[in-house]
Structure 1
Amino acid sequence: MSSEKEQTPPADHCHAVGLIIFILGVGTLLPWNFFMTASQYFNGRLNDANITENGMTKDYNYDSWMALLSQLPLLMFTLLNSFLYQWVKERFRVAFSLVLIFVLFSLTAALVQVPMKPDTFFSVTMATIWFINMCSAVLQGSLFGVVGLFPPRYSTLFMSGQGLAGIFAALAMLLSILSNADKNAAALGYFITPCVATLGTLLCYLMLPHLKFARFYLNRSQTDGLETALTLLNDTVEKSPNQNSKEVMAKETNQQRSSVLAVFKKIWLMAFCVTCVFAVTLSVFPVITVRVQTIYTENEAWKKIFTCVCCFIVFNAMDLLGRSAPSFVQWPSERSLLFPVAVLLRLIFIPLLMFCNVQNSKLPVFFSHDCAFVIIMAMFSFSNGYLASLCMAYAPQFVKNADRETAGSLMTFFLVLGLAVGASFSFLLGRLV
């Protein structure tokens, strides 16, 4: 009776663990979203006083370089985290990453008030983006591994939190645009916001192990492995009383955690799907979508906020809705052939968005009206959030409890691989339009 009672999870009082995991999801994608939605600030500052000797304006191509230098460190360090997580404690990885992200955001905020030459400012910004995404890779990989230890709905909550990070950044940018403050004051307030949010994320993470519900699942993989080893040890001792019991226990305990390759063989389809989802998304967002312009060019107020509202806010709001939807319905199922088919069907959004009212487009415009762009963006972003959330929730179900952290880390790597593939492909699509 006592053993059964110990295996019954305690209640998640006031949904505290769910709320914390949601906040952790917000914290993981804050860096990417704040640098992406700050496109107007960075491009504006780079274009000020950067006239060359020939009177030409130097094009720094901030958006493309930002996407590339965000995804490369994410890819590299997510892969590193997938193989080296056993040698560095998870608490150290998460805490160190959040502290360094806070320092880098603080540096970015401080530089708002520091006059710099465009070339120097561009180099410092790109270096900051590289290092901040390096930390984000370790942070995401570690937290996906932790969340994989909880029931599937907590993976959905984590993904929903990541979706809210985009809305958070987009609304902060909208307020910055609409504020009456000067550009420097608005930018300073914009970058102070993620500093405060990152500190809040760190505090939430430190609180997690102190909650009884969280402790049950965080310790369960180790407990399950130990109990299995003890059972096998007792069976072996009964059959072979002369065998060294310590050697048997050590051998069986080591067998509880599968190799990375063995885990990959079980989740490869989900890994492929999450790669495709994000490759399609980043191939056109934001490189193509930010170039779509309103047909109401005479309305200066709407023209000023069109990109922020119809591109970033619509995308992030519908993406969040998509990430939250699996909490209510999960279709197709994890073993259904319809699931990879639905993922591949998202390729249709690439030409649909390229045929919108893109500024100075080389292609014909089939969807010129603002409403058409908003509808396409809504379906595009909802499917991104929904299918990605299902991928991350389904993958841990293909492996045993002891391998769920490995599965979570691997899925994070393939998620970032999809982002990197999409970012690379966006250079080609950008030239086509």
Structure 2
Amino acid sequence: MLSQKDPPVDRGQATAIIVFILGLGSLLPWNFFVTASLYFNECLNVTQNSTQGGQPEDYSFNSWMTFLSMLPLLLFTLLNSFLYQWVRERIRVVVSMVAILLLFSLTAALVRVQMDPDTFFSITMGTIWFINAFSAVLQGSLFGLVGLLPPRYSTLFMSGQGLAGIFAALAMLFSVLGNADIRTAALGYFITPCVAMSAVLACYTLLSHLEFARFYLNRDETVNQPFEKMPVESLDKEFLKKSKDPESQVLQDLKQPETQQQRSSVFAVFKKIWVMAACVTCIFAVTLSVFPVITVQVKTVYRGSAGWEKVFTCVCCFIVFNSLDLVGRSVPSLVQWPSKESRLFPVVVFSRMLFIPLLMVCNIPDSRLAVLLPHDGAFVLVMVLFAFSNGYLASLCMAYAPQLVRSRDCETAGALMTFFLALGLSLGASISFLLGSLV
């Protein structure tokens, strides 16, 4: 039953913290594999040298890893967008988390197994495919869940996703700086997400026991109760005055006739959010077209410093990107510009395509293109703007979309936005093959 009092308070910000952690867990699989591309490439080179007499073979690992991460993400996100009504959200989330945990455990166990390069490459790509398939279902389900909460929780979820990249990058940095051999360092690296995913699963289980979360997540049961049994006059009058506050959307739904409380079709929801869907597609298509395929090829100009050369890619590519991406995802909780109605918003989003040529003319050895930005500082500056705009604009898109539909359609909007996010990632991964061949 709907309480006659205001919605419960998020005591100790427990729901906010859990949503943040769920965001972190939803992108851990992708970030741990993309950051480990240095390890996988080195393993392939070492294995080739030991089994093929040093004859090099171009596996195009970074491009294939990106493509085989994004393709299942797109396919299974699409599946999740239309079939989520037939499988309970709790089942989808728990099964996905357990599967990801098992796949990470398998990856960690295989670190010590000696394999020929073709077998190593095939098993790694197979693991990447399946882990991202489950990750797609997990992300789509969690975005739909978060869409039922007040808008600021979408921003917190996106911020958690940004932290996942930093988490993975720092884990890789410590592995690189350690004196252990590559396989021992990799074993420790891949055990880390196993522990992290176990903690994320525990947090998700705890969420259903929080009064604040239950109030919003169980709203369907609330609004399905006979309207005449819950007269509006019995509700707190002061709270009803806050009708412009997105958090009062539940009460607005209660005042609607029962015929207006049914969920809209997927197409009807899409017509309301198509601008945000197009924007989030563009944002991630631009990002994945050059990150990490192009950015990992940029080298420092200080080639004499062995220590800096060793950590340059990890620090200037992965840590800088993920740190500023996290900052960008967090800023919308303070400032939201342009507004969701502004025609300037799509213009700002599509202007990010300028980052593609800028990153391609950084210091990439043996590049077919002219190196116009050779200094480390220029590369870092471009990466800062590139990463911040990615996090900021993506977070705005994901927060704006549920605000454009009725609260009953928030879960559908969240699932659709996750599909278009995955579509952008897949397009970017496909474009990365072309851009990689140009440099």
TM range (shorter): over 0.9
Structure 1 runs, 4 residues or longer, greater than 3 Å off: 51-55, 225-232, 251-255
- Aligned partner of 2:81 in structure 1 is 82
C-alpha separation between the residues in 2 aligned to 1:127 and 1:53? 23
Q: Post-superposition shift, 1:224?
A: 2.4
| 8 Å contact from structure 1 (residues 149, 221) kept in 2 | no
C-alpha separation between the residues in 1 aligned to 2:229 and 2:270? 27
Q: Post-superposition shift, 1:50?
A: 1.7
- Aligned partner of 1:40 in structure 2 is 38
User: In the alignment, which of 282, 285, 288 is matched to residue 294 of structure 2?
Assistant: 288
C-alpha separation between the residues in 1 aligned to 2:110 and 2:47? 17
- The answer to whether 1:119 aligns with 2:121 is no
- Aligned partner of 2:142 in structure 1 is 143
- The answer to whether 1:161 aligns with 2:160 is yes
C-alpha separation between the residues in 2 aligned to 1:229 and 1:129? 52
Q: Any idea what the Cα deviations from partners look like across 1:232-288, whole Å, max 9, x if unmatched? A: 9xxxxxxxxxxxxxxxxxx95696111101100110000000000000101111000
Change (3 A) 1:339 1:104: same
User: In the alignment, which of 336, 343, 363 is matched to residue 330 of structure 1?
Assistant: 336
Q: Post-superposition shift, 1:59?
A: 1.7
C-alpha separation between the residues in 2 aligned to 1:225 and 1:270? 29
- Aligned partner of 2:96 in structure 1 is 97
C-alpha separation between the residues in 1 aligned to 2:406 and 2:190? 42
Q: Any idea what the Cα deviations from partners look like across 1:136-182, whole Å, max 9, x if unmatched? A: 00000000000000011000000000000000000000000001122
> After the TM superposition, which of the residue ranges 34-43 and 131-140 deviates more from structure 2?
34-43
TM-score, normalised via structure 1 length: 0.92
Q: Post-superposition shift, 1:226?
A: 3.7
Tell me the secondary structure at the aligned position of residue 49 of structure 1.
helix
- Aligned partner of 1:260 in structure 2 is 266
Change (3 A) 1:226 1:102: same
C-alpha separation between the residues in 2 aligned to 1:185 and 1:294? 27
Q: Post-superposition shift, 1:327?
A: 0.6
User: In the alignment, which of 17, 20, 23 is matched to residue 19 of structure 1?
Assistant: 17
- Identity percentage of aligned residues: 68
- Aligned partner of 1:279 in structure 2 is 285
C-alpha separation between the residues in 2 aligned to 1:96 and 1:374? 39
- The answer to whether 1:343 aligns with 2:338 is no
C-alpha separation between the residues in 1 aligned to 2:54 and 2:145? 54
| 8 Å contact from structure 2 (residues 332, 392) kept in 1 | yes
After TM superposition, the structure 1 = structure 2 runs for residues 292-303 of structure 1, keeping only pairs within 5 Å, are: 292-303=298-309
Gaps of 5+ in 1: 233-250
- Aligned partner of 1:419 in structure 2 is 425
| 8 Å contact from structure 1 (residues 43, 62) kept in 2 | yes
Q: Post-superposition shift, 1:359?
A: 2.0
Change (3 A) 1:70 1:3: closer
Tell me the secondary structure at the aligned position of residue 47 of structure 2.
coil
| Letter of the 1:99 counterpart | V
Change (3 A) 1:72 1:123: same
> After the TM superposition, which of the residue ranges 178-187 and 44-53 deviates more from structure 2?
44-53
| 8 Å contact from structure 1 (residues 224, 402) kept in 2 | no
User: In the alignment, which of 360, 368, 377 is matched to residue 362 of structure 1?
Assistant: 368
C-alpha separation between the residues in 1 aligned to 2:227 and 2:392? 36
C-alpha separation between the residues in 2 aligned to 1:229 and 1:343? 46
Q: Post-superposition shift, 1:117?
A: 1.4
| Letter of the 2:329 counterpart | R
C-alpha separation between the residues in 2 aligned to 1:176 and 1:211? 38
| 8 Å contact from structure 1 (residues 225, 253) kept in 2 | no
C-alpha separation between the residues in 2 aligned to 1:31 and 1:229? 48
Change (3 A) 1:254 1:81: farther
Tell me the secondary structure at the aligned position of residue 115 of structure 1.
coil
After TM superposition, the structure 1 = structure 2 runs for residues 386-405 of structure 1, keeping only pairs within 5 Å, are: 386-405=392-411
C-alpha separation between the residues in 1 aligned to 2:66 and 2:259? 43
Q: Any idea what the Cα deviations from partners look like across 1:352-409, whole Å, max 9, x if unmatched? A: 1111111211111111110010000000000000000000000000111110000000
| Letter of the 2:337 counterpart | W
| Letter of the 1:328 counterpart | L
C-alpha separation between the residues in 1 aligned to 2:294 and 2:139? 26
Tell me the secondary structure at the aligned position of residue 208 of structure 2.
helix
| Letter of the 2:269 counterpart | V
Change (3 A) 1:47 1:228: farther
Q: Any idea what the Cα deviations from partners look like across 1:300-351, whole Å, max 9, x if unmatched? A: 1000100000000000000000000001000111100111111011111111
- Aligned partner of 1:237 in structure 2 is none
How many pairs does the alignment contain? 413
Q: Post-superposition shift, 1:54?
A: 8.3
TM-score, normalised via structure 2 length: 0.91
Gaps of 5+ in 2: 232-256
User: In the alignment, which of 376, 380, 383 is matched to residue 386 of structure 2?
Assistant: 380
- Aligned partner of 1:216 in structure 2 is 215
- Aligned partner of 1:189 in structure 2 is 188
> After the TM superposition, which of the residue ranges 376-385 and 35-44 deviates more from structure 2?
35-44
| 8 Å contact from structure 2 (residues 290, 356) kept in 1 | yes
- The answer to whether 1:49 aligns with 2:55 is no
- Aligned partner of 1:236 in structure 2 is none
| 8 Å contact from structure 2 (residues 145, 217) kept in 1 | yes
Tell me the secondary structure at the aligned position of residue 390 of structure 1.
helix
C-alpha separation between the residues in 2 aligned to 1:105 and 1:49? 22
Change (3 A) 1:417 1:297: same
C-alpha separation between the residues in 1 aligned to 2:227 and 2:352? 43
> After the TM superposition, which of the residue ranges 57-66 and 372-381 deviates more from structure 2?
57-66
- Aligned partner of 2:132 in structure 1 is 133
C-alpha separation between the residues in 1 aligned to 2:46 and 2:60? 14
C-alpha separation between the residues in 1 aligned to 2:89 and 2:405? 20
Change (3 A) 1:229 1:278: farther
| 8 Å contact from structure 1 (residues 225, 256) kept in 2 | no
| 8 Å contact from structure 1 (residues 78, 141) kept in 2 | yes
